[in-house]
Amino acid sequence: MATGNLTHVTEFILMGVSDRPELQVPLFFLFLVIYLLTVTGNLGIITLTTVDSRLQTPMYFFLRHLAVINFGNSTVIAPKMLVNFLVSKKTTLYYECATQLGGFLVFMVSEIFMLAVMAYDRYVAICNPLLYMVVVSRPVCLLLVFLTYFFSFVTAIVVTPCVFSVSYCSSNVINHFYCDNVPLLALSCSDTHLPETVVFFFSATNLFFSMIIVLISYFNIILAILRIRSSEGRKKAFSTCASHMMAVTVFYGTLLFMYLQPRTNHSLDTDKIASVFYTQIIPMLNPVIYSFRNKDVKCALKEFLKNPCKKIQSYMNF
């Protein structure tokens, strides 16, 4: 067996969403439906914003990448979680666990910054509409998306090895339904001060800078809307950012609930509930939020369903 700084653990056991046997099958079907809706909704958004000529603006370019992120975030977690509902031994290999944590961090941080990018996009559209296509040009869109993925990969590449650099000696039961850094560090039998500091630094920094961008953008958006004299103009301006405001509120509200609650009330079970929300429920809700209130998306969907082959063929020819 390994000694010193090497881990003694070759696999972990995931406790799952619930350890009650009678709930495993009902929870399997519940989360299967959620995952299928997530896949359908986000792949639908990706397809529509790719093949429909009316959905080629910066707003829909960012929405397409948000759908990619939501699909990825859910897919990193859901398949393994669904399998574990149906098996008695809910194990995950050491390196499989590390890979899942890395994938989760990539998509989670990407969503944090993509929502900030979309808030900036809405700010420019409402506060500087005449310069919109100049300020949010194609090169700028590509740069913003690149930076979003770059920061997320940097976070994953630094945090994941740091979490798995500690020793796991005997206990290997993770009180979670996927490999997350907090329950993993709680299992360690070595000093966790450095990895906890690294996790806190990246979590706080990513959340702080993204929220600052969102808050400043929406502060200016609200001021711009209030300066519009006609009620029709205010309604039109508000409708352009209402879907994004709803998505931001749900996502950041969940994260703030998780991170700002008092330590006396904080528990891994609470983290588990919050994690279900932002890894499974929010990726399912986002396509609904953005399509239900969006006339362009609804029209594009109706046309696509009438003749999907023609739409795809015209896109391929283009």
CA distances from 203 to 175, 181, 228, 262, 277 (A): 21, 11, 38, 17, 18
Q: Among candidates 153, 146, 66, 164, which has minimal Cα distance to 106?
A: 153
Can you give the pTM of this predicted structure? 0.89
What pLDDT does residue 259 have? 65
Q: Token match 């829909």: residue?
A: 60
Q: Where along the chain do its domains lie? A: 11-317
Dist CA 225 CA 247 (whole Å)? 19
- How many whole angstroms separate alpha carbon 18 and alpha carbon 25? 11
- The pLDDT assigned to 262 comes to 55
Q: Quick one: pLDDT at residue 191?
A: 86
Using DSSP, how many helices (H) and how many strands (E) does the chain show? 12, 3
Question: How far apart are the C-alpha atoms of 177 and 199, rounded to whole Å?
Answer: 19
Q: What is the pLDDT of residue 4?
A: 42
Number of other CB atoms surrounding residue 270 within 10 Å = 13
pLDDT tens for each residue of 27-76: 999 999 999 999 999 999 999 999 888 888 999 999 999 999 999 999 99
Which pLDDT score is estimated for 245? 84
**Average pLDDT for residues 78-83, to the nearest whole number?**
94
What CATH number belongs to 11-317?
Answer: 1.20.1070.10
Predicted pLDDT of residue 3: 42
